Structures are given as structure tokens and as C-alpha cells.
């Protein structure tokens, strides 16, 4: 989903220091910035920026007003922490369901429907995607992850139910699912190993060009809520060329960059680019409409926490161990709760 953006600065004096999936990127950025290494621009996410706040320069006074005015207000809000804009929104990310029309009579609407359906549901068995699915299941059950004061509520009966559902879904799927990452889910869907799976907007182009495209159809996400967020661009305090970094971020927030986002299937934060996008066919038109409706009324986002990354890591690792049979669902949620309490009270 980044490949088209590299063309924006092809031939310019821009060195790509880290090219990796987001969890790996976060670890590399934390290591480099923690050692005071120079990074001029980083890709981050609204949920991770608070944990990087000590390394990031607020952008309100750095970016021109017309740059920010051209971006979706919801995206800008998701990139703020304690009033400061820590990153400039790149796209708004929500998931939709893709299902096999030759295997299922209709798309599942609830998580009970997903379990009852013929054919497996594919999902990420590790890292942030797994914890995000747990968040969706909790929300569908009306159970928050944190209380109004930010204290974790991870031993609620709904949490045990959510982990048990994940165990059942994994047991009905290919046995290697606990090791799946984002691209592995797409691989499984497009190879016919599962009958349905969630996909981020940036994965649409690969779906559209696959041999199974004529047998796939988009649908609203089960349970009525999609774990969502906003990718963005930030300027670290170790930046060695602030004017150059501002220029690059401005280009990455431009209509041209937004058009490239939209062409890949993503929903750009640039308002003009989003408005100008034309679906490539009827399936894409339905996908785009479902995605926009999800953004309007079905997004769920994590509360801004400075140490959220650590909570997320503890959460997915415990759930992953439940998927592999190392922990029961009850043991997993208690491990999550203890780890979250330790992190947030430190």
C-alpha cells in the first residue's frame, strides 16, 4: 500500500531507512529515535503516535494552513494527542468483509453468522490485527476495553467470550492461521483457503486483479463495527532538515498523493482526492460505498494512550497463546489484564 507513494519522490534526495510492516516499523523507529538517530519523516498511526509523542514535533505550526484545511477533519482529530497534531493524516483505514459468493448464500451480518457459515473466516493470528479483532468482538458485545479513566477492563465476561470465539474461529480455519499476518490473510482468501476475510482498503488492488475477483463480494463488517484508525506522517525531534521534512510531508498530503492512495483502494485523508475518486467497476462502487458508510458511522478507535503499544503487544501475545492452546481463554484475559495494569500504572 506504500509502493505508489515512492514514485512521488523518485529521483529526489530521499533515503528510505525502514521498509517493513507496521509492527516491525514501530520497533525500528523506537530503536532509532531512542538512540537519537536522525529520522526526518516517519510513517506512523493515530493509535501509536501518543506512545511516540516524546520524539515527535507538533505539526500545527510547521504545516501550512491550506495543507491542513485540505484534510478530513475526522482524520486530523485522530492524529491529535493532548491538543497537538502529532502526525498529518494519510488515509482513513477501516475494514470491510470480502466473502465468496460461490460458497455462501449471503454475507454474515453478526459474529454468530460468521461461526454458522459454511467455510472458514480468515484473520490475522498475531500482532495488532489480532488485538484489533478482539476489540471488535468486545465492542459488538457492548463491552469497552477501558473505563472512563483509562483503566483496563480485560477480564470482563465478554472478554472471555471474545477469546473463546477466536479459538473456535481459528479451529475451523487452516491450522497455520495463528501465524498469519496481514498479507497472509489476503493470500488465504485469494488462494481459496477461506470463504471470507476482512481486508483493509489498501489491499483492494490485489483483490481486484486476482483470479477469484468475480467470485468475491464486499459486505459491511460483521457485528456492525470496524476497528479503525488513521495512518499519518510525522516529523521527529531528531529531524536534521526541518524545511525538507515539511516539504516532503506537504507532498505526501497533497492531492496527487491522495489520488495515488485512492487508486490503490485506500480512502485518502485529502478531501479533494477522495471526492474525485471514481470506482473502477460496480464491485468497487459497492466496496467504496460500504467503506465510506463505515467511516461515517461504524468506526471504533482506541483511546489515546501513551503506552498503548505495550498494552496491544501484551494483549495479542496472550490471545495468540490461547489460539495455539498454551492458555485457556480465562488465563489469557487475566494475563492481558495484569500486563495492562502494570504498563498503565508505571
Q: Among positive and negative, which fits the CA dihedral 33, 39, 40, 44?
A: negative
Residue 150 forms part of a structural domain: yes
Residue 120 forms part of a structural domain: yes
Residue 205 forms part of a structural domain: yes
What Å distances lie between residue 139 and 111, 226, 229, 249, 277, CA to CA?
12, 9, 15, 34, 31
Query: Within this chain, do residues 28 and 74 fall inside the same structural domain, yes or no?
Result: yes
pLDDT of residue 278: 93
245, 15 Cβ separation under 8 angstroms: no
Question: Which of 16, 11, 84 has the alpha carbon at shortest distance from 237?
Answer: 84
Query: Within this chain, do residues 236 and 113 fall inside the same structural domain, yes or no?
Result: no
Q: Whole-prediction pTM value?
A: 0.90
pLDDT of residue 338: 95
Which parts of the chain sit beneath pLDDT 50? none
Residue 299 forms part of a structural domain: no
Question: Which of 119, 115, 91, 94 has the alpha carbon at shortest distance from 216?
Answer: 119
Q: Which range marks the domain in which residue 186 is found?
A: 96-227+307-345
**CATH number, domain at 276?**
3.40.190.10
Angle (CA) 111 317 193, round 5°: 50
Which residue is associated with the grid cell 510547521? Answer: 62
Q: How many domains does the chain have?
A: 2
Residue 288 forms part of a structural domain: no
pLDDT of residue 202: 86
Amino acid at each position: 500500500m506504500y509502493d505508489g507513494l515512492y514514485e512521488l519522490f523518485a529521483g529526489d534526495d530521499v533515503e528510505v531507512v525502514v521498509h517493513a510492516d507496521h509492527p516491525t516499523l514501530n520497533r525500528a523507529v523506537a530503536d532509532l529515535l531512542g538512540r537519537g538517530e536522525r529520522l526526518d519523516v516517519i510513517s506512523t498511526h493515530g493509535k501509536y503516535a501518543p506512545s511516540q509523542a516524546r520524539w515527535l514535533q507538533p505539526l500545527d505550526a510547521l504545516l501550512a494552513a491550506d495543507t491542513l484545511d485540505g484534510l478530513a477533519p475526522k482524520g486530523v482529530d485522530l492524529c491529535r494527542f493532548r491538543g497537538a497534531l502529532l502526525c498529518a493524516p494519510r488515509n482513513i483505514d477501516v475494514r470491510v468483509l470480502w466473502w465468496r459468493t460461490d460458497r455462501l448464500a449471503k454475507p454474515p451480518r453478526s459474529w454468530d453468522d460468521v461461526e454458522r457459515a459454511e467455510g472458514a473466516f480468515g484473520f490475522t493470528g498475531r500482532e495488532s490485527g489480532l488485538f484489533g479483532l478482539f476489540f471488535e468482538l468486545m465492542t459488538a458485545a457492548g463491552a469497552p476495553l477501558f473505563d472512563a479513566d483509562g483503566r483496563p477492563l480485560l477480564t470482563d465476561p465478554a472478554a472471555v467470550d471474545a477469546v473463546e470465539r477466536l479459538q473456535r474461529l481459528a479451529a475451523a480455519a487452516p491450522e497455520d492461521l495463528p501465524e498469519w499476518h496481514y498479507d497472509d490473510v489476503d493470500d488465504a482468501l485469494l488462494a481459496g483457503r477461506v470463504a471470507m476475510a476482512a481486508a483493509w482498503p489498501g489491499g483492494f488492488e490485489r483483490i481486484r486483479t486476482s483470479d477469484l475477483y468475480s467470485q468475491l463480494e464486499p459486505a459491511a463488517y460483521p457485528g456492525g463495527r470496524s476497528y479503525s484508525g488513521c495512518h499519518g506522517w510525522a516529523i521527529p525531534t531528531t529531524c536534521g532538515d526541518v524545511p525538507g521534512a515539511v516539504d516532503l510531508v506537504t507532498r505526501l498530503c497533497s492531492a496527487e498523493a491522495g489520488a495515488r492512495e485512492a487508486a490503490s483502494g485506500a480512502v485518502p485523508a485529502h478531501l479533494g482526492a477522495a471526492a474525485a475518486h471514481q470506482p473502477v467497476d460496480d464491485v468497487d462502487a459497492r466496496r467504496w460505498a460500504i467503506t465510506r458508510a463505515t467511516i461515517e458511522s461504524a468506526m471504533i478507535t482506541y483511546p489515546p494512550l501513551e503506552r498503548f503499544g505495550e498494552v496491544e503487544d501484551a494483549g495479542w501475545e496472550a490471545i495468540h497463546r490461547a489460539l495455539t492452546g498454551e492458555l485457556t481463554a480465562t488465563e489469557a484475559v487475566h494475563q492481558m489484564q495484569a500486563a495492562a495494569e502494570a504498563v498503565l500504572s508505571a
